[in-house]
Chain A
Amino acid sequence: ETGVTQTPRHLVMGMTNKKSLKCEQHLGHNAMYWYKQSAKKPLELMFVYSLEERVENNSVPSRFSPECPNSSHLFLHLHTLQPEDSALYLCASSQEGEKLFFGSGTQLSVL
C-alpha cells in the first residue's frame, strides 16, 4: 500500500462515453501527477498539480481533462477517447517532486 488509491482498477469504455478516473493520496504531499503507460513505451507525464494549481501540461489532447479540487484528490475526466488511448493510467504524488508514490493504476480499454 503506497498511500495513493486509484479507482477504478479497470475501465472499458466506448468512444462516445464520458468517464472519470479518481485518485486520492493519504500522504500529505503537495503535488499530484497523471502518467500514461502504454505497452512498449516509456511512462508519459500528462499533468502535474502543485497545491491544486496545474504546473505541467504536456501537450495532452483536450479529450483528457484533469481536475484537482484539493491537495488530496485528483481526477482525470475522459470524453470521446480513441482506441489508441487504451493504456494504464497512473496517478502519483510527491513532496517537492523528488520521490513519486504511484497508485495501482487504471487499465483503460477504449473500444
Chain B
Amino acid sequence: GQSLEQPSEVTAVEGAIVQINCTYQTSGFYGLSWYQQHDGGAPTFLSYNALDGLEETGRFSSFLSRSDSYGYLLLQELQMKDSASYFCAPQTGGFKTIFGAGTRLFVKA
C-alpha cells in the first residue's frame, strides 16, 4: 500500500524557523514535491526534489533522503502570510502525484 505521514499542525512565531517533516511509503517513487495552500485557494507548487539533498528557493528549502523515504520543508524568517497548509506530494509514477493530509501552519505575531 501507500502511505504518507506529516504532522497535522505546527505553530511558530514570526521570524522563526519551522521544519515540516514527511515520511512516505509508495509503490514507485520519482521525487518529492511540496505545495502550499491558503484557505479558499488552490495548491501552489513550492519545490521538487528528485535527488537526495537540499534544494533552496528563497526562504524555503526542501530536503530529501530517498534511502530513508523522508523529506522535509524548511521555512525561514516566518511571516504571517506563511500561515497555510503545506502538503508533501510524492510523484509515484510518470504522471501520478499523491498528496498527504497536509500540515496546517499557524504563524503568530
Contacts and interface: CB of A to CB of B under 8 A. Distances in A.
Contacts of A45: 96-99
Interface stretch (B42-50, B55-63, B70-78): B42-50
Contacts of B31: 98
A2 B95 contact: no
11 contacts: A42-B4, A42-B87, A42-B100, A43-B99, A96-B95, A97-B30, A97-B91, A98-B48, A99-B48, A102-B42, A102-B43
A94 to B, nearest CB: 7
Interface string B10-26: 00000000000000000
Q: Determine the interface band of chain B, counting residues with CB < 8 A from chain A.
A: 20 to 34
A48 B98 CA distance: 12
Contact of B33 (A2, A41, A98): A98
Contacts of B44: 2, 102
Contacts of B98: 42, 45
Interface string A31-51: 101010000011101001010
B83 to A, nearest CB: 18
A43 B93 contact: no
B80 interface: no
A97 B93 CA distance: 8
Nearest to B87: A43
B77 to A, nearest CB: 24
